Structure 1
């Protein structure tokens, strides 16, 4: 959907020419989010702004859906590209509805159509249209204004969106909420998005691909997983940080690591039965008790099963936590550390037990990607990084 071909920007300054973006070549497939990442002054924002011609390229080309945009009218080009910035840029003298409808009105939409579109988008960004559409930007919080900025960019249903640190000015709690809501929207909308960020965690969470810039040059362009497992050089490795293996916890879902081998008992089973099943799974010191719907309702410890007689229903502990198949390993690790446990039951969307996840399985899964990279580097004669 977006292709950059030798895209270059040179600024003339009193001290001479400064190359802000240096022969950048990259492609962003349709429906994906590409994060432009790097330190301040590395060329990521300049590259982004050349796509909608806020900054005019010195040389090179931008293709959108296979079409060279060089000869397109600038206004026409921008009306077909959604644009969201950190400062939001809402018009203070317009209501929220009027702000959202700016581009549709320029495109000649009738009033009924753009009003319906405004209400639809308010629902999408989880703001009540009846409560907010007639307000002015000054009556909204910063986080609410940022959501309106996203809605405005989506108003005319553009195939491409450009986002320049759109959530950077929002406090961490609201930023995480808006990020999550935006990703849910993206699952449905499938926009092609280029997104400038300086936050590595945001890049890993939001991006299908990450482009790392340094001194105007595109240094590495990879999926988040490949970027963390195989940084191209010492700069990328240093920029990602020493905890890059832990950052991969955000990328892996429970369903990728879950084991369906899990011992369970029912409330009417004896403690002797519980002990036998604990022994069958020798690396655990407890066993999960489930109800008739196979939902987790308690734990029977080895110590209790060994020293006590009776039924499981009378001698269980509470289940400290359970995780869903779509949770990421960061959540799993946090729960394990908080509860001082080495395994957790996994449940489906109906709360039924479908397996378990262990610290050992997580460690093996994370390490396997790095070992594969080292093996690949050895096979090609390269020096593996990290």
Structure 2
């Protein structure tokens, strides 16, 4: 959808020519979010602004849907591109409805159509239309104003959106909420988005692809997982940080690693039965207890099963936490550390157990991705398949 072809910008300054963007070439496929990332002054914002001609290129081309935009009328070009900036830029003398509908009104939409579009967008960004449309920007919080800025960019339903650090001025809690809402919208809208950020965590969370800039040059352009697993050079590696392996936890869902093979007992099973099932696996030291709805209700340890007699219902510990298939591994790892666990049961929407995620499976997954790129083998050969994702939940 968006292609930059040797896009270059040279600024004339009193000290001589400065190349802000140096022959940038990249393609952003339709419906994807591309994050432009790099240190201050690296050329990412200059590249973004050349797309809608806020800054005119010195040379090179911008193509949208295969069409060279060089000879397009600037106003027509901009009306087909949504633009969101960090400072939001709402018109203070206009109501929220008037702010959102600026472009549709310029395009000649009738009143009924643009007003309904404003209401539709307000619902999309989780703000009640009747409560907010007639207010002015000064009556809204910074986070609410930022949402309005996104809604305004979407008003005329442009195929392309440019976003220049759109969430940078928002506090971390609200920023995370807005990021999540925007990603949910994107699942339905499928816009093609160029997004400038300075935050590597935001880039990993939001981006289908990440472009790393340095000194006006495009250094690496890759999907987040590939970028983290195989940085192109020392600059990219240092920019991503020493914890880049942990950053990959954001990219993997529980469903990608969860094992369906999980040992279980019921409250009416004896401790002898529990111990037999624990020992059948050979290396774990506990087993999960489920009710008649297959919901995890407790953990029976091998130590208790060996030293006590009776039924599981009388000798169990509570299940500290559970996760769903849509949770990411960063959440899983955090819960494991907080609860001193090497496993967590996985449940469906009805709370029924459908498997487990283990620390061993996470470690192996992260390591295998790096081995695939390095061509080597780290930490020795993996054990049997069953050992790479432990087959019963257990607590050490």
Compute the TM-score of the two structures, normalised by the length of structure 1: 0.96
Equivalent residue, structure 2, for 1:98: 98
After superposition, the Cα gap between the structure-2 partners of 1:151 and 1:141, relative to the gap in structure 1 and judged at 3 Å, is same
Measured against aligned partners, the alpha-carbon deviations of 1:164-220 in whole angstroms (never above 9, x if no partner) come to 000000000100110111111111111000000010010011000000000000000
Summarize the Cα distance change of 1:96–1:376 in structure 2 as closer, same or farther, 3 Å threshold: farther
- Following superposition, the deviation at residue 106 of structure 1 comes to 0.8
Please give the secondary structure, in 1, of the residue aligned with 2:135. Answer: coil
**Partner residue, 1:312:** 312
Measure, in 1, the Cα distance between the counterparts of 2:128 and 2:310: 55
Q: Does 1:56 align with 2:56?
A: yes
SS at match of 2:269: coil
- Please state if 1:364 is matched with 2:364: yes
Deviates more, 1:308-317 or 1:93-102: 308-317
1:279-318 paired onto structure 2 within 5 Å: 279-318=279-318
Provide structure 1 residue ranges, at least 5 long, that are not aligned to the other structure: 378-386
1:350 CA drift (Å)? 2.8
Q: 2:340 maps to what in 1?
A: 340
Question: 2:70 aligns to what SS in structure 1?
Answer: helix
More displaced, 302-311 or 153-162? 302-311
2:97 is the alignment partner of 1:122: no
- Matching residue of 2:247: 247
Residue number in structure 2 paired with 1:383: none
Cα distance in 2 for residues equivalent to 1:135 and 1:296: 49
Corresponding residue for residue 151 of structure 2: 151
1:79 aligns with 2:79: yes
List alignment gaps of at least 5 residues for structure 2. Answer: 378-396
Between the aligned partners of 2:244 and 2:365, the Cα distance in structure 1 is 15
* TM-score, structure 2 normalization: 0.93
| Structure 1 equivalent of residue 380 of structure 2 | none
Question: CA-to-partner distance for each residue in 1:228-276, whole Å, 9 max, x for gaps?
Answer: 0111011101111111111111111111111111111112212221111
Q: 1:350 and 1:150 mapped to 2: Cα distance?
A: 35
Could you tell me how far apart the structure 2 residues matched to 1:137 and 1:306 are? 67
Measure how far apart 1:340 and its partner are.
Answer: 0.3
Q: What is the deviation of 1:137?
A: 0.6
CA distance in 1, matches of 2:45, 2:192: 17
Give the drift of 1:376. Answer: 8.2
Structure 1 residue matching 2:126: 3-state secondary structure:
coil
1:294-347 C-alpha deviation (Å, 9 max, x unpaired): 111111122222222222222221111111111111001000000001111112
Q: Distance in 1 between matches of 2:196 and 2:349?
A: 34
Q: Secondary structure at the match of 1:320?
A: coil
Q: In 2, distance between residues paired with 1:350 and 1:139? A: 41
Task: Please give the root-mean-square deviation of Cα atoms over the aligned residues, in Å.
Answer: 1.2
Corresponding residue number in structure 1 for 2:329: 329
Q: How many residues align?
A: 377
**1:284, distance to aligned residue in structure 2 (A):** 2.2
Distance in 1 between the 2:187 and 2:176 partners?
Answer: 17
The corresponding residue for 1:31 is: 31
Q: Does the alignment pair 1:10 with 2:2?
A: no
